[in-house]
Structure 1
């Protein structure tokens, strides 16, 4: 059985999602809309999708599910509007721009049985899945250290930053979520240092372009998260899980942008990933494929709104720690 899906937002990630959705066997038709109607029309023409001139038309076009890839500040209204119409939702993180907004959306959607899946694509990446299995099996022994890295090769456009939510809510939240998911543990405390050595627009927006996060998990394990917007060598996303009996490393492949200066260690001939869409293309496809099953009632929701909220709490604690230059218990921001 095939069905129609709606897509709100045809920017960088929205256009990529449209291509993936069009290729899924379960999807008969994709209907796209965007505040920028010409961009939406161009995307529809390019992909052979259906064009909707506005969101109201999109929601009324007999769609069986809605994928939301618009700017963060529009997520709450779109999610609630779809759920009120009984339309299952896939929403790119975050659910809302702040905790209060997230809690309000959760309150609204939990009054309904309509599923809302939040987009944390790393949960569908083969490497992270394998690391989770290794930890759960006891193969690594007890974990003592985790090291996560998300380093962009170049910063986003200046106009994006004020609406992004900042480095921790926009970028680091993926690491915070995946540390919880891979380990099955909760983050109890964080301490953060941030820096600005690049473009002025980060500081002007009250943001940082580089950060180091130290975390304590509920079992006593320590985790570090390195975040940055200026990793000229390429897109670098990794996770190291170090245990008493072994370790598991995600992202250590021939395209990792690390250069050894040891004389007997030749450089990889393969280019680094240029960005997140290339690195996680298969994960995005798997994530959206699962959503088609969730929307049809054939699968459990793999990442509901409350999962997104937990990662958001960690991001909020990180921002507070950075501003006040002190350790912050995650419970402080709940």
Structure 2
């Protein structure tokens, strides 16, 4: 199959490199708002480049991967669907809940699949945890504990357009808690702080946050987030039930040191999300080729993305207003 890719920044170039190696992909065509960047990526990877996003949609594609800037996502998703092309799009679908709902409404009437890039759903550990929950091996769940701890903050210029810590970072935890537990979040309470660079507070954001989620069966979930974890990239999920518990992320590259002198983990720590989830990125694009071929439905829909984004939005309201926020306050 012939796949197009819009956006050749860091994540887009990584996706193009994976796509060109997949057995079902015969050719990859890339485009970018900056044509010279697309040409450079194409030369590096040995794929085709076109001079504009418009030209990409006339390149005889079987599907399209969107890794452009967030503000371009809604238009590009809709263009792909309206052209009858299966779409893979990096999160988020849009920069706010209203924009996400508009895309959900638009694609609902089309028989064209859209897959959103929540790569943790394709990680072996999270997949095994979900299987344990689904099989009833843990009994009834009482608690989930999730962490996403970045080793270093992003560039200052990224923060004002990032959507904030909950929408940019925590949204992955919110999605995976829904996916692993099989439940919906009904209420959130979130707080945050700034002890690092001033540019977070200047943008109205926080660099560290703690979240308490209540699920629709009264299971409780906590989420810890920070931009400052110099020990390394630390992403985990503990799933605790009445009959057993499992943990995701307790591998030899976990960036923790035991003060009891236990000689584990061996390290080295993951330096970032690309290294931690390399296999997951490959698997999600493998599955996208199956979606394009019509063999499987989308494993992560725009509706799933809206559900996770609503949780992030509720967290931001909760943090600013310093109160619990029910999801139904945000509408459907």
State the Cα distance separating 1:102 from its structure 2 match. Answer: 0.7
Match of 1:76 in 2: 74
The separation in 2 between residues aligned to 1:317 and 1:185, in whole angstroms, is 17
Give the TM-score normalised by the residue count of structure 2: 0.98
Q: Please state whether the residue corresponding to 1:212 is helix, strand or coil.
A: strand
Match of 2:236 in 1: 238
Structure 2: segments with no counterpart, 5+ residues: none
Match of 2:200 in 1: 202
Q: Please state whether the residue corresponding to 2:318 is helix, strand or coil.
A: helix
The separation in 2 between residues aligned to 1:308 and 1:104, in whole angstroms, is 12
The separation in 2 between residues aligned to 1:228 and 1:269, in whole angstroms, is 23
Q: Please state whether the residue corresponding to 2:116 is helix, strand or coil.
A: strand
Contact 1:273 1:279 in 2 (8 A): yes
Match of 2:327 in 1: 330
Match of 1:132 in 2: 130
RMSD across aligned positions (CA): 0.9
The separation in 2 between residues aligned to 1:34 and 1:319, in whole angstroms, is 32
Give the TM-score normalised by the residue count of structure 1: 0.97
Structure 1: segments with no counterpart, 5+ residues: none
Contact 2:251 2:265 in 1 (8 A): no
The separation in 2 between residues aligned to 1:233 and 1:111, in whole angstroms, is 47
Match of 1:104 in 2: 102
Alignment equivalent of 2:273, drawn from 268, 272, 276: 276
The separation in 1 between residues aligned to 2:61 and 2:267, in whole angstroms, is 42
Match of 2:246 in 1: 248
Match of 2:314 in 1: 317
Contact 1:22 1:30 in 2 (8 A): yes
Cα deviations across residues 152-197 of structure 1 (Å, max 9, x unaligned)?
0011111211221111111100000000000001111111110111
Contact 2:194 2:208 in 1 (8 A): yes
Q: Please state whether the residue corresponding to 1:25 is helix, strand or coil.
A: coil
Moved over 6 A (4+): none
Moved more, 247-256 or 154-163: 154-163
